[in-house]
């Protein structure tokens, strides 16, 4: 995947100068929502270079990760939606009070590069575009896909859209758009950006928009607590905030 945020080397240099390296190497296991995967593909290597630590990151939709944790899977750090981190804290899976908000993302639409760019600027225009599209793709377990299913119900066009939908459990739906297997892709902006062959069209109309806050939390029982905390510190730094912004996300606290 091409670099759509900024180079890992640039980030590493800036963060090393700002925060310094970390003595001793550790391997940090991270379970992360795909909602931040595009940005993390640059922030991850930058953190490794500046800290000397290594990251082992697995990506999935938030719903699937919640199921994995429910079945007993664990790690050192987890990145999910804010409410999910709080829920896991109440269940004793995540350290209480360890939640750190990273950034938030709205939901948008992608089309194939070079394809006509339909109007999605208003609710009526978006509804018309969905009805005119030959196919629409979204995830069935991701927060954006679940919400989009409620949007088409609200608009009264669920049967029409579902009849031509090309859904998948998780992953980046822009990949289906890029190959021409789907005309429109609906997902979080942060997930739609950075896929070769697909262009980000724009956000859902304001009346239909939903913003999702992504947060990090420490797993109970982690043996890499200090290293995991250093990663959180890295991800909440102003330098990382600018990387989130370039990746189509709004950094927490407006960093």
Going along the chain from its start, the domains and CATH numbers come out as: 8-105+212-254 (3.40.190.10), 107-208 (3.40.190.10)
pTM comes to 0.83
Distances (CA, A) of 115 to 64, 112, 187, 200: 32, 5, 18, 11
pLDDT digits (tens, 9 = 90+) for 63-116: 999 999 999 999 999 999 999 999 999 999 999 999 999 999 999 999 999 999
- Distance between CA atoms of residues 190 and 245, nearest Å: 9
- Distance between CA atoms of residues 68 and 83, nearest Å: 17
- Distance between CA atoms of residues 155 and 199, nearest Å: 25
Closest CA to 214 of 114, 86, 89: 86
pLDDT digits (tens, 9 = 90+) for 119-174: 999 999 999 999 999 999 999 998 899 999 999 999 999 999 999 999 999 899 99
Distances (CA, A) of 213 to 115, 136, 150, 190, 203: 31, 25, 19, 12, 16
């Amino acid at each position: 995947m091409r670099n759509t945020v900024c180079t890992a080397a640039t980030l590493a240099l800036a963060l090393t100068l700002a925060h310094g390296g970390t003595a001793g190497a550790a391997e940090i296991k991270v379970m992360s929502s795909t909602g931040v995967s595009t940005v993390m593909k640059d922030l991850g290597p930058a953190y490794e270079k500046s800290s000397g630590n290594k990251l082992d990151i697995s990506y999935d939709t938030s719903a699937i990760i919640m199921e994995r944790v429910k079945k007993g899977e664990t790690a050192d750090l987890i990145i999910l939606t804010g409410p999910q981190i709080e829920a896991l804290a109440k269940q004793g899976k995540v350290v209480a009070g360890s939640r750190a908000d990273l950034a938030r993302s709205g939901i948008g639409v992608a089309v194939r590069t070079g394809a006509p760019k339909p109007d999605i600027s208003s609710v009526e225009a978006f509804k018309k575009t969905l009805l005119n599209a030959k196919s629409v793709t979204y995830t069935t377990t991701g927060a954006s896909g679940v919400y989009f299913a409620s949007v088409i119900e609200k608009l009264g066009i669920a049967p029409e859209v579902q009849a031509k939908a090309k859904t998948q459990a998780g992953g980046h739906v822009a990949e289906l758009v890029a190959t021409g297997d789907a005309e429109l892709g609906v997902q979080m902006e942060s997930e739609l950006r950075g896929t070769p062959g697909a262009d980000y069209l724009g956000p859902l109309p304001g009346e239909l928009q939903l913003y999702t806050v992504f947060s990090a939390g420490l797993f109970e029982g982690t043996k890499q607590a200090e290293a995991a905390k250093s990663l959180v510190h890295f991800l909440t730094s102003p330098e990382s905030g600018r990387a989130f912004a370039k990746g189509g996300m709004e950094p927490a606290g407006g960093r």
